[in-house]
Structure 1
Amino acid sequence: MVSTTHGAVRGRFERGTAVFRGIPYAAPPFGALRFRPPRPPEPWDGVRDAGAFGPTAPKPPYSEAFAPYLSDPVVPGDDCLNLNVWTPEPGPGARLPVLVWLHGGALTRGSSAVPVYDGGAFARDGVVCVSVGYRLGVEGYGLFPDAPPNPGLRDQLAALRWVHENITAFGGDPGRITLCGQSAGAISTGVLLAAPHTQGLVRRAVLQSGAPEVCDRDKVRRMVRRMATRLRIPATAEAFAGVDRDLLLRVQAEAGRLSSPVLGGPAFGIVVDGDLVPCDPLKALTEGTAARDVELLMGWTRDEYRLWLVPGGLLERIDRLGAVALAGAMARCRASHDVPRGYRALHPGAGTAEIVGQMVTDHLLRAPLHRLADARPGSSYLYEFAWPSRLPGLGACHALELGFVFGTGDTPESRKLAGEGAPRELGEAMHAAWVRFVTHGDPGWPAWNARYPVRIFDDGEPDTAYGPRDAEMALWSAASTLPQAPRTAVPRAPGAEVAAAMRRLRRSVGALRR
């Protein structure tokens, strides 16, 4: 039993680790609190049972194309702003390092109840692990004229403050908190690092396959308007709050079918709000003074794009579209002709889909993470996960590394992406590196310097490569020194043809996701 600021909770011992699940850090975000910033939970009398995961945030299921690869359990209920704690030593005397985990899922799916994110292995290695649930989709990232932006991000900040105030009672040290996330969770981690309200709450941070970024406000508004049109209601928080939750999820799924990490399109995302997010977070972290004393562990998987393109056969469709698909990628990345030409020269045997996928991955992930490391030499560590899945076509895809990091590679949920026979030694090496970083700030390889060290996790012993992506990064650096061409003039094809190609690509995504 542990006492928190809102009441006592009783957990369970599992394999020598104390586990507390479903602890509320904020009030249920419904009724009068729907689309509003989080409020503290009501205190409770007696001892609250914390033996099971709490409710998950409302979210649509994964489509038939993605469901075979990704698990996303649903726990019904309103009290979805909750968190889970794994600790080896509950009590105020231990003062152990703390890992706070923000899950991914494009800010529309995922939860802290996914079995891959079980924190038992971290606790067994002396780290208090906390996983957080937060609002998703239109509930967490819709943009309305009559409600504050970014309620999902504000949930994460509320959870981080809860950890800072309560983790001592669970054996953690509030001065040694590492904020960690993957994909949308990594984007959120980067944004929170740059947020003035977060200063002093985080000692270290891990960004896995996600870079600090904000979404164009009009892009989010278009998604909200698309939903409002289907619902035949005004695009306001007041009107959306009156819509049945299940109906809202169905409409959200329908409206989001034409969006993709590779192809873009309207989407939910974090926006600059003048308060929690006062400016572009990447600029604040690279050019300003935000979180200057925070050590960083950052990286990507070698074939991120394959999770976005392989399910349902979109990769083959892009290969068939050829030059038209490449023109669409150039428009997506606002790249000059020199960029795809350079990729063709560096990867002469690659198909169009691979060129497109690597270009977009570098534009969205590798280039900004390199930029962030360049601004913080000596305190940044970079890695690349290169081990290919045993499943056909996935390669070293997005999210594949998670089972290795958490030491949950033997679970059925991890095998959905990795297949059978994933190397146990690789999981031990990655998990140990994360434990070292959370504990000491050093994962076991050289910090970023003029030689550009990157730790490669693949079959066999992990190895450190120096400048493994320098050639691709040089293409973007050269392109950034050139005047930006108008969007319609970037591809060889006329603007109307490119727009039509992008529409065909997005229709392909929509058909696959249906």
Structure 2
Amino acid sequence: MDPTVVAVTEYGRVRGRTENGVAVFRGIPYAAARFGPTAPKTPYAPPLDRLLPDPEIPGDGCLNLNVWTPDPGGGGLPVMVWIHGGSLRHGSSAVETYDGAAFARDGVVLVSVNYRLGMEGFGMFPDAPANLGLRDQLAALGWVRRNVAAFGGDPDLVTVFGESAGAFCVAGLLASPYSEGLVRRAVLQSGVPSAMTPARARRTTRRVAKRLGVAPTAAAFAAVDRGELLRAQRESAGGHPMSGGAGFDLVVDGDVLPEDPARALVDGRAGGIDLLMGTTTDEYRLWFVPGGTIDRIGPLTLRLAPARFGVRRRTAAVYRAGRPGASHGEILGALATDLLLRVPLNRLADARRSAPAGTYFYEFGRPSPVLDLRACHALEIGFVFDTLRLPATEALTGPGAPQPLADALHAAWVAFAATGDPGWPAWDNSRPVMTYGGTGGAPYVVHAPRDDERRAWAGRGE
């Protein structure tokens, strides 16, 4: 039987393949039965390269997307659009863990998107628009709006979801006036509304330009060998979310992002869009553990590092008192997790309590046996996609991860996309958080978990 399947878009016919009962279209708009080229990037530095496989597909046409659908000839299905993470300089839609077959199996049209990364996507130049990577995502959402019906999807039932930098981008999309009418629901996995000022973004551009020995303009960068550009980018803007170092972020450019997304969303922007968001319990361990950083953090670092980020002594004292058996590194990591992720997301949820759309909060707590990473950053992705048995997923989860937990997490995301309700109470004054895997059993709701620690941040916008 011929496995070829065809869908008709506004640009013409595209060809995919039927795989295990699901129609898959890779590399659109190229209509090739493969993933399209990935954006130029360097691999994750060791040892993260072993934990986060990041395939590279050569080619210049990186602005492509992939579609998994149960019924390209049908209609009315919920649509989910995946924005990958990777600090805005790693990652692609071709990562094996992001296979969309399970979503299609369960009645969802899954779309995964590539977008420009690093300097090409998020550099700040005087001779080019800012936020080109975010503009790519808006263009992809526009394509979905106009064409997803050809794959059986409902263009009025689109959920955009992303993890880490992908979640930053989702928040930016919600804050952008150009997303009006393109998104019905959204999911923020371990990422918060965030953007930098143009001045700060220009400093990153100048730093990379200085290493390259060129002017800080888009024209000068375009003339540089791509390999040299990637090396300079890695050496000059290689910070990770918990290092406080230089890196890439969205930019408040007065156009795509008229204001800081954190302020816009707290002030009510996207209040009509259902929002699901949350974190893992031990986010910090992905960065603190593999290279041994956690063991090098002593009492002096624990005393000085929080002050660097404006964390008051009494806040740190609450964490020390509540975690008597924790090491200095574990306490600092918990502070960093809450400073960068849990506290801002709680603040956003609180601001949306009177919003017309629902707000839902989760925490993923199932520990990974790999390197004692516990419930680290990115661990939940394979459970959300229900791809636990793939090698790329097992690199982080370890073998034998519990399938019932993936069934539960994946089903919640599907239900949210279809109905706006993932299956637990919406956010209110009792602060309900659906907790996955914290005790190894069935998911359960905890009201106001670790609230003494959250309240210790009062004065930082609480």
CA contact 1:263–1:328 (8 Å) conserved in 2: no
Match of 2:97? 116
Which of 346, 349, 372 pairs up with 2:325?
349
Please give the alpha-carbon distance, in whole angstroms, between the structure 1 residues aligned to 2:460 and 2:27. Answer: 48
> Are 1:270 and 2:250 matched, yes or no?
yes
Counterpart of 2:116 in structure 1: which amino acid?
R
Q: Which stretch has the larger CA shift, 12-21 or 420-429?
A: 420-429
**Cα distance change of structure 1 residues 188 and 435 upon mapping to structure 2, 3 Å threshold:** same
* Equivalent residue in structure 2 for 1:9, among 14, 19, 22: 14
Paired residues in the alignment total 452
User: Residue 362 of structure 1 aligns with which residue?
Assistant: 338
SS at match of 2:65: strand
Which amino acid is the alignment partner of residue 311 of structure 1? Answer: P
SS at match of 1:130: strand
C-alpha deviation, 1:65, in angstroms = 1.6
- 1:145 corresponds in structure 2 to 126
1:412 corresponds in structure 2 to 391
Contact 1:344-1:355 at 8 Å conserved across structures = yes
The one-letter code sitting in structure 1 at the alignment partner of 2:363 is: E
| SS state at 1:68 partner | helix
Give a deviation string over 1:210-243, Cα, whole Å, max 9, x none. Answer: 0111124344323222211111111111111100
Question: In structure 1, which of residues 444, 450, 460 is the aligned counterpart of residue 441 of structure 2?
Answer: 460
Q: Does 1:157 align with 2:134?
A: no
TM-score (norm 1): 0.86
Counterpart of 1:195 in structure 2 is: 176
State the Cα deviation string for residues 486-506 of structure 1 (Å, max 9, x = none). xxxxxxxxxxxxxxxxxxxxx
- CA drift at 1:480: 4.8
Paired residues for 1:479-498 under 5 Å = 480=461
AA aligned opposite 2:413:
W
For the residues of structure 1 that align with 2:374 and 2:242, how far apart are their CA atoms? 17
Find the counterpart in structure 1 of residue 188 from structure 2.
207
| CA distance, structure 2, for counterparts of residue 412 and residue 65 of structure 1 | 17
Contact 1:220/1:267 (<8 A) preserved: no
| Alpha-carbon distance change, 222 to 311 in structure 1, aligned in 2, over 3 angstroms | farther
The TM-score, its normalising length taken from structure 2, stands at 0.95
Matched AA of 1:442: D
- Tell me the equivalent position of 1:427: 406
Equivalence map 1:129-140=2 (5 Å): 129-140=110-121
Amino acid at match of 2:191: G
Give the AA of the match of 1:359. Answer: L
C-alpha contact (below 8 Å) 2:189/2:278 kept by paired residues: yes
> What SS does the aligned partner of 1:80 have?
coil
Quick one: which of 382, 386, 392 aligns to 2:365?
386
Contact 1:220 1:266 in 2 (8 A): no
Q: Does residue 19 in structure 1 map to residue 39 in structure 2?
A: no
Which structure 2 residues correspond to residues 52-451 of structure 1 after superposition, within 5 A? 52-91=34-73, 93-257=74-238, 259-288=239-268, 290-317=269-296, 319-320=297-298, 322-332=299-309, 334-377=310-353, 379-451=358-430
| Distance of 1:230 and 1:190 partners within structure 2 | 32
Give secondary structure in 2 for the equivalent of 1:414: helix
Report how far residue 414 of structure 1 moved: 0.6
Pairwise CA RMSD:
1.4
Whether the 8 Å CA contact 1:409–1:415 is kept in 2: the answer is yes
CA contact (8 A) 1:305 1:397 kept: yes
Give 2:3's aligned residue. none
Per-residue deviation, 1:342: 1.6
Q: Secondary structure at the match of 2:173?
A: helix
Q: What is the CA deviation profile of residues 364-415 of structure 1, one whole-angstrom value per residue up to 9, with x for unaligned ones?
A: 1111111111122371110000000011320100000011000101100011
1:485 matched residue in structure 2: none
**Any idea what SS the aligned residue of 1:365 has?**
helix
SS of 1:345 mapped into structure 2: helix
**Secondary structure at 1:49 match in 2:** coil
Task: After TM superposition, give the deviation of residue 50 of structure 1 in Å.
Answer: 2.8
Report the CA distance shift for 1:210/1:145 in structure 2 as closer, same or farther (over 3 A): same
Quote the offset at 1:101 in angstroms. Answer: 0.3
Shift of 1:449: 1.1
CA distance, structure 2, for counterparts of residue 143 and residue 126 of structure 1: 40
> Whole-Å Cα distance in 1 between the matches of residues 83 and 31 of structure 2?
23
The code of the aligned residue for 1:155 comes to: D
Helix, strand or coil for the counterpart of 1:445? Answer: coil
Aligned-residue offset at 1:324: 2.7
Task: Report the CA distance between 1:246 and its aligned residue.
Answer: 1.2
Identity over the aligned pairs, expressed in percent? 55
Distance 1:330 1:222 in 2: 24
